Chains A and B, each alone.
Chain A
Amino acid sequence: MESPLAIDVQGLTKRFGDRTVVNDISLQVRTGEIYGFLGPNGSGKTTFIRMLCGLLRADAGSGTCLGFDVITASEEIKRQAGYMTQRFSFYEDLSIRENLDFVARIYGVLDRRHAVDQSLERLGLTQRSRQLAGQLSGGWKQRLALAACLIHRPRLLLLDEPTAGVDPQARRDFWEQIHQLAADGLTVLITTHYMDEAERCHRLGYIAYGRLLARGTVTEVIASAGLTTWSVAGPRLPALAVQLRVTPGVQHAVAFGNTLHVSSDDAPALAAAIQPWRTPEYQWSEVKTSLEDVFIHLMSRAPDNFATP
């Protein structure tokens, strides 16, 4: 009965005026999968999610979400999906319980009181149920938002930067829960800027300037970029970085704590380029290319279609 693909869209495009914010994106997400959506600010992640859940109408493209047509059946999709907005979007002047109660009423949840109690319990919010949502800290707000998105037992969860401004412990708890939910069969599409979070996803998509530039598992994404990365430690790294960036054969030189990551997709050229600096003063070693190296690489190569010519 359950289709293997929770999201299956082709060529989704959204224009605002003459700016193409989402450009011909096709995406398949399997049921029960945690799909990470990465990309710089303003790359079209939020717009894409809004099109999936019927908040925005796509200008072109087609496909299904939970088996419903994304263009014509947005009402059905809304009923069976939970969308957690980037900014906290519940009522700050309602208490935690009142917010959950409101959402449960809107979705027509059966045995509402029980559902609300259970949801409070599960998220450890029972003690705070009478507290106004506006008085909660970032981490608690995020918990509340997630609880509200889950109260109608959606089959798909769309999370737009859910962990922005949340402390590491709360983030860890959050991801524990997401994995638990996915194990129970919920499909999750999540956008993030954090590399450690990206690595917790089953599969990834990288979007920049409205285009999907890379996709696959973490290993696949890294492999597909074909980057070679060297790490260098030593004195005056910032000055070295400036010099390396203008050296032909070096594509990126990025500071990573006390080291500098130097990378390129042309390994021999890179090896030649760094040769002059391979002195005893500096400790060079070839390292595994990280996801972050790949993303910086992808971003710098993507044509900026928003830039004015």
Chain B
Amino acid sequence: MSTPRFSQSLQRFWALVVKEFTQMRRDRLTFAMMIGVPLMQLMLFGFAINSDPKHLPTAVVLADHGPQVRTLLKAIENSGYFTFVGEVRDGREATDLLNRGGAQFVLHIPEDFSRRLQRGESPSVLLEADATDPAATGNALGALRTLMVTALGADARGPLAGLAPAAPVIDLRVHPAFNPEAVTQYNIVPGLMGVVLTMTMVMITSLAITRERERGTMENLLSMPTRPIEVMLGKIVPYILVGYVQVTLILLAARLVFHVPIVGNIFLLFALTSIFIAANLSVGITFSTIAANQLQAVQMSFFFFLPSLLLSGFMFPFRGMPPWAQVLGEVFPLTHFLRIVRGIMLKGNTVHEAFPHAWPIAVFTVLVLAVGAKRYRQTLD
């Protein structure tokens, strides 16, 4: 009894999918948008937007606890670019922290730091930087280079006075991880994947149901034996496919045009992308249950898209934003997706590191869909 019912349901769902694709093919403008937007944005955002983020979280590996080290750290923190978030034990822990995005920098102070300084030799320090986003680290690195000359100036009086500004007192070695050549596109292009998906997925789905209502076809659809869930899924599934076409397009461009390395597992990326696409589609569907007409649907889409874009860390480095904006930014799926994409493509993140960024998207999706389903039922009657 339940099997023929299910197959009937499947048949109705499939009818909607076929219809949706036919309409998609016919609606030249929307079709052009779906293909054109990713391409256009890729070209436009070839330029980076620079900013000057400060208080970047920095961890330290201290093999030496001497007074000069403390002076150095103090001076570094006083520059405003760095905020020390803690001490890690060794290099492995440091790498792990960078991988997870827990810190932007890890500063290594070798054990012979004070001794070499006292002997009048130039001690060296190592700075590991998460250089995924060159804009986020550039100014901080510049400031640090200057500091290496002047930081210990006050302590270099007396017997050490002769050393003062002659040569760089401390030898700073920077190890920019993930994007050693500071290529802006490495950061922008993967991020663009999230931006394009957010823009097109939300807008297209918010229009899809509103259009049915505005053109009066919703009444017809409801008078046929279709269930709400069939209509919703029939609307969502075709656009998940569209989303994957866009992702593939951008990844191809990333590899072939911008030569962005893809370090991690591409299948993991594709798999996690589905959560992100679902999140955006749920926003679109929910908007379409609220919007009275297509114009409103577009307006609502932009209302969602702009803060997503600005607060996600795509336009400006996330850590450059004031705390309240960071809190707000954490709400948007795009923020988390950017971390996933950059993590997988540039850092070679695995499921283990990507998961903490994936579940907030899933929670967001469920909450938004709940609102949408509630609204959808109300509009039936």
Contact = CB atoms under 8 A, between A and B. Distances in A.
Interface of A: 53-57, 75, 78-79, 83, 85, 87-94, 98, 102-103, 105-108, 132
Nearest to B10: A108
A47 to B, nearest CB: 12
Given A91-B23, A94-B19, A94-B26, A106 B12 contact: yes
A91 B219 CA distance: 12
Contacts of B19: 91, 94, 98, 102
Interface in B93-111: none
B216 A108 contact: no
Interface string B200-225: 00000000000000011111101111
A132 B226 CA distance: 24
B225 A105 contact: no
A89 B11 contact: no
A173 to B, nearest CB: 23
Contact of A89 (B8, B15, B216, B225): B216
Main secondary structure of the interface of A (DSSP, over half): loop
A93 B18 contact: no
Contacts of B216: 85, 87-89
A89 B15 CA distance: 17
Contacts of B18: 102, 105
Given A94-B26, A98-B22, A106 B15 contact: yes
Given A78-B225, A98-B19, A98-B22, A108 B219 contact: no
Given A93-B23, A105-B15, A78 B217 contact: no
A109 to B, nearest CB: 10
B4 to A, nearest CB: 9
5 interchain residue pairs of minimum CB distance: A105-B15, A89-B220, A83-B223, A78-B225, A89-B216
A278 to B, nearest CB: 53
Given A78-B224, A78-B225, A87-B216, 19 more contacts: A55-B219, A75-B225, A78-B223, A83-B223, A85-B216, A85-B219, A85-B223, A89-B219, A90-B217, A90-B220, A91-B19, A93-B23, A94-B22, A102-B18, A102-B19, A105-B11, A105-B18, A106-B224, A108-B11
A180 to B, nearest CB: 23
Contacts of B217: 89-91
B26 A53 contact: no
A92 B27 CA distance: 11
Contacts of A57: 381
